[in-house]
Amino acid sequence: MSVETRTPAKLGVAVVEGLVNVIVSGEMSPGDTLPPELPLSQQFGVSRTVLRESIKRLQEKGLVSVVQGRGTVVEPTSAWNMMDRVVLTSLIAHDKTLGVLDELSVVRARLEAAMAGETARVRAAAELELLRGLLQTMQSSIDLPKVFGAADVMFHETVMSISGNRLAESIARVLFERARDSARYHGSPPTQRQQRQTLREHEAIFAAIEAADGDLAEQVMDAHIIDAWQRRRPPDHRGTKSPS
Residue pLDDT, tens place only, 99-137: 999 999 999 999 999 999 999 999 999 999 999 999 999
| Span of 80-84, 217-221, 236-240 with lowest mean pLDDT | 236-240
Which letter, b or e, does each residue of 70-95 get, where b requires 16 or more Cβ atoms within 10 Å of its Cβ?
Answer: eebebbeeeebebebebbbbbbbeeb
Q: Quick check: is 84 in a domain?
A: no
Q: Is the pLDDT of residue 235 over 80?
A: no
CB atoms within 10 A of CB 27: 11
Inter-residue contact 43 to 49 (CB < 8 Å) = no
Q: How far apart are CA 199 and CA 141, in angstroms?
A: 10
Whether the per-residue pLDDT at 180 is higher than 90: the answer is no
Type of residue numbered 44: F
Instruction: State the residue range of the domain holding 35.
Output: 3-79
Of 27, 46, 79, which residue constitutes the final position of a domain? 79
Is the pLDDT at 170 greater than 50, yes or no? yes
Residue 244 covered by a domain: no
Q: How confident is the model at residue 2 (pLDDT cuts 50, 70, 90)?
A: very low
Specify the pLDDT at position 132.
98
What is the count of structural domains for the chain? 2
In a domain, 111, yes or no: yes
Q: Which residue in 77, 100, 96, 71 sits closest to 29, CA to CA? A: 77
For residue 242, name the pLDDT band (cuts at 50, 70, 90): very low
Q: First vs last Cα of the chain: how many Å apart?
A: 46
Residue where a domain stops, chosen among 45, 79, 113: 79
Q: What angle do CA 239, 240, 244 make, to 5 degrees?
A: 155
